[in-house]
Amino acid sequence: MSTLPRIEVAEVFAHALRGEACFFTAPGQDPLRVPIEEWARPVDDGDQAMLDLCEGATIDLGCGPGRLTVELGERGHCVLGVDVVYEAVLQTRRRGGVALRRDLFDRLPGEGRWDTALLADGNVGIGGDPVTLLARVRRLVGAGGRVVVEVASEHVRSTRLLARLECDCSASGHFPWAILGLGDVAPVAAAAGLVEIGRHRLDRERWVVVLQERDR
C-alpha cells in the first residue's frame, strides 16, 4: 500500500498538469501513466475529425488543458471549457480559451441551450456511470442538439472500477471511473434517453459516436 500523502483527486491531477509523472491505478490492472502530454499537445488529425462533428455553440466537458476548447474557438464556435481542476482551467485560459471551474453535475451556464456537448479523451468515464453521466449531459443540449463522445474500441470491454491517481509526491483516494466500449454504446445511450446517429473512426484506433435525444 502506498505511503504517499493523500490529497484530493483534483489536486493530484493538478500536479500532473504541472509536469509531474502521474499514474492511474485500479485493482487488477497495471498502472497506466496519465497521458498529460497527449492532452496538452497541439490538435492532430484525429482531433480535427472529432471537432468536425461539433456544431454551433459547444461545451467541452472535462476540458483539461484546453487543446480542444481553444481549437473550437479558433474555428469560430462559441465554446466553454469546464473542468473541476483549477490548474486545467488556468491552462485553458492561458491558451486563449474560455473555461470555468465547475463540477459538470452542478448547474452550468446555458443549460438546455448548447448545440453540442463534447466528451473527449475518455471523459465519458467521469463518475463511474456512463448512463448517469449521459443523462446529465443530455439536459445540457437544446432541441436538435448533439452529444459527441469519444469511446474505447469495440475490442475493449466496458467496465466500472474504483481508481486512484498517484504522483511522485502524493496520491488520491479511490474514485469511481468507467470505460465505455463501442459495442456497448447503444444500450447505454438508450438508458440515458439518447440514440446513436453516427459513429466515426478516428486515427490511432480512436472512435467517436454522436448521440441525440430520442424522439427529437
> What CATH fold (topology level) applies to the domain 43-157+179-213?
Rossmann fold (3.40.50)
pLDDT (tens digit per residue) in 106-131: 999 999 999 999 999 999 999 999 99
Task: Please check the confidence at residue 215 and state whether its pLDDT lies above 80.
Answer: no
Q: Strand, helix or coil at 92?
A: helix
Identify the pLDDT of residue 1.
44
Q: Which three cell numbers stand for residue 15?
A: 500536479
pLDDT category at 97 given cuts 50, 70, 90 is very high
Report the candidate in 50, 213, 96 with the shortest Cα–Cα distance to residue 144.
Answer: 213
Question: Residue with C-alpha cell 436538435?
Answer: 144
The residue type at 7: I
- Domain limits, the chain: 43-157+179-213
Could you list the beta-strand ranges (E) of 11-131. Answer: 22-25, 32-33, 58-61, 79-83, 99-101, 114-119
